[in-house]
Structure 1
Amino acid sequence: MNTAKTIQTSKAPKSFGFFDFLYKYGTLITIALLIIVFGVMSDSFLQPSNIINILRSISIVTIIAIGITISLSVGGFDLSVGSVASFANALVISMFVWHGQGVWMSIILTILICLTAGIINSFMIVKLKIQDMLLTLAMMFVFQGIAQTYTKGATLSQNMIMPDGSFSTGIISPMFAKIGQVPWIIIIMLVVVAIVHVFLTYTKHGRYMYVIGGNREAAKLSGIPVNKYRVAAYLLSAVFAAIGGIILGARVMTAEVNSGAPYLMDSVAAAYIGFAVLGAGKPNAIGTFVGAVLIGILQNGLVMLSVPYYAMDIVKGTVLAFALAITYYKAK
């Protein structure tokens, strides 16, 4: 019996070390494998122009996912970010083509209006104590409906036909268009990731958010104003969703119905994959960026291999599930 216990004890560290390695580096291993596979199967995958294209494609996902990451840091969750991004996309384009506003006024007004999403979410979650996932799911439909009502279901663009039959006279500024182009779209993404990484990791406010996310009651007993930080988290989530929607508008120069909806699940996946990058074990900006890179590489590679669009979700979902399985499975 003692011999058996000794053997079991001696084997435990090796098993733990192997799975601990997978837990820390599983996402990076998956990215490396995808790069190798796609690089072998497509000559143009590793071209510098395609690398830039991948970074551009994940910029909006990353920014929206950063907002989700902040809400997760306080133990919350925000499913309304896709609809807020759609609303922001419609607002910022309408500021140009309907109201003739300048670049900065359009951006500032859009962010301020979209802050109402964070105010409503935080009030109902923090004050009325509604479960965050259920509330933000409901608000997802609310803001989606607001965006559709605001645009009357139409696609907003320059010279669009107005309800009275005339054409819109507003012009989308060329300066605004540059925000959605390389290198600015990538620079904005990297700046957002860097700022939030420093905020969450090296400031007392970020550490307070992690404490709240880890144990809300303990945070209250230690004197941290828990409700204020939870409100701030949902406000910041709305801000980054709005920024994502604004950049989407600058990239495509139009606002279509539910344009931000496709970014929701990719953003959620990126944020959750980021938990285990380098064994962080918590929501973090660098991990979220790595998660977005994984998703971007996967989507880009599938397109290059001419995988039918109706099969893409199967392949993408399988690989994402595999990556999550590796990064979240940790021997106990």
Structure 2
Amino acid sequence: MKARLQQIARELRAVWMLIAVCIALAIASPAFGTSGNLLNVGLATSVTALLAAGQTFVIILAEIDLSVGAVLGFSAAITAMTLQHHSTVIGMVVGLGVGALAGLVNGLLVTKTRMPSFIATLAMMSVLAGLTLQITQGNPIGVSDYAFQNIGQARTAGVPVPVWIMIVIFLVFGLLLARTRFGRYVYATGDNPEAAKLSGIPVNRTKVLAFVISGALAALAGFIITARLSTAEPTAGTGLELEAIAAVIIGGTSLAGGRGDLVGTIVGALILGVIDNGMNLLNVSPFLQSVVKGLVILFAVLLDRNATAIRAWFRWPSRPSGGAVAAPADELVSR
């Protein structure tokens, strides 16, 4: 119960941060609060949010997946090549399969070889980025499949399809994490893997499935980028893994494992999306935009790690009159 209350407090901090940023940008730029612009924020956030959703499972396990950006680019290229000769459904199944397979390899490297996830996924990132450039020869692959293009370009009830995809994914996987046995296994394994193993939890299988989810959602994010551009860019996912990790951390998920959920993650992704959008509206230099986002990440992590100290500082006891310092409680007891 205490851990859940602490997690709610972290989410509320992220929500208040999002509200504060939105209010500041609405004051600074009247165009920010328009419905069209807010839908653009959701559209731009959808890719990072999907990557961050999969990353949340991995980080709750006290692991990390640096390969999601490369998985996105590789699966997008394979999907585009498949769509040139096969139907939309086959192309998407192949793309999701490639992403899930990459996640499976990551999970097996971490669990079977006991390789640190940082190293395993860093190597996978390099391998997949190189393979993508090799099979495409560094050239974009055009996509003319109309049904596939609708994934990134169509609207339903006036809302872009990628936003609907983001909402559905967060509902489905949020329930998976919060309300299923697998979700409980994820939290227990991230909190204390040895105790989880002694309790009969299949720790290795849980980790492998989390990496598979991360890879599959990275492939789905690749669909959105490819459909929006009608092109699979070989470097489409470069750097997006850092955006995803930042969204997860800002949302309150602990890098130490055992804490976090998808509600905080989507708030973290929206914070980054709102900041990007606001800085573009205010014509902030692209070079300074990275500086601002870096400072936001640092602020979020410092706030999370030092929340207890901050609360204690605000409740600092006043000194007794006359300047005398009150004796510690243990000294009073000893007297």
TM range (shorter): 0.7 to 0.9
The reply to whether residue 196 of structure 1 matches residue 173 of structure 2 is yes
The reply to whether residue 119 of structure 1 matches residue 119 of structure 2 is no
Q: Which residue of 211, 219, 231 corresponds with 1:254? A: 231
Equivalent in the alignment of 2:187: 210
Q: Which runs of 5+ in 2 are unaligned?
A: 1-5, 310-335
Give every structure 1 segment of 4 or more consecutive aligned residues whose post-TM-superposition deviation is greater than 3 Å.
19-24
Query: How many correspondences in the alignment?
Result: 297
Equivalent in the alignment of 1:7: none
The reply to whether residue 129 of structure 1 matches residue 101 of structure 2 is no
Q: Is the 8 A contact 2:176 2:183 kept in 1?
A: yes
Q: Which runs of 5+ in 1 are unaligned?
A: 1-18, 159-171
Equivalent in the alignment of 1:177: 149
The 1:48–1:205 alpha-carbon spacing in structure 2 relative to 1, beyond 3 Å, is: same
Query: Aligned AA for 1:176?
Result: F
Query: Aligned AA for 1:264?
Result: E
Shift of 1:23: 4.6
The reply to whether residue 221 of structure 1 matches residue 198 of structure 2 is yes
Distance between the aligned counterparts of 2:231 and 2:221, measured in 1? 14
Q: Which residue of 65, 74, 77 corresponds with 2:61? A: 74
Q: Is the 8 A contact 1:87 1:147 kept in 2?
A: yes
The reply to whether residue 85 of structure 1 matches residue 72 of structure 2 is yes
Distance between the aligned counterparts of 2:123 and 2:298, measured in 1? 26
Distance between the aligned counterparts of 1:145 and 1:21, measured in 2? 41
Q: Is the 8 A contact 1:23 1:330 kept in 2?
A: no
Query: Aligned AA for 1:83?
Result: A
1:1-332 map, 5 Å: 23=10, 25-97=12-84, 100-157=85-142, 172-181=144-153, 182=155, 183-275=160-252, 282-331=259-308
Identity %: 31
Shift of 1:28: 1.9
With normalisation by structure 1, the TM-score equals 0.85
With normalisation by structure 2, the TM-score equals 0.84
Query: Aligned AA for 1:36?
Result: I
Q: Is the 8 A contact 1:122 1:231 kept in 2?
A: yes
Equivalent in the alignment of 2:317: none
The 1:205–1:21 alpha-carbon spacing in structure 2 relative to 1, beyond 3 Å, is: closer
Backbone CA RMSD of aligned residues: 2.0
Distance between the aligned counterparts of 2:119 and 2:77, measured in 1? 25
Q: Is the 8 A contact 1:267 1:292 kept in 2?
A: yes
Equivalent in the alignment of 1:169: none
Distance between the aligned counterparts of 2:223 and 2:8, measured in 1? 39
Describe the SS at the equivalent of 1:130.
coil
- CA deviations 1:142-200 (Å, max 9, x no partner) are 11111111111111115xxxxxxxxxxxxx22111111134211111000001111001
Q: Is the 8 A contact 1:69 1:283 kept in 2?
A: yes
Shift of 1:276: 5.6
- CA deviations 1:198-225 (Å, max 9, x no partner) are 0010111111111001000111111111
Describe the SS at the equivalent of 1:180.
helix
Q: Is the 8 A contact 1:20 1:330 kept in 2?
A: no
Distance between the aligned counterparts of 1:309 and 1:137, measured in 2? 27
Describe the SS at the equivalent of 2:32.
coil
The 1:208–1:49 alpha-carbon spacing in structure 2 relative to 1, beyond 3 Å, is: same
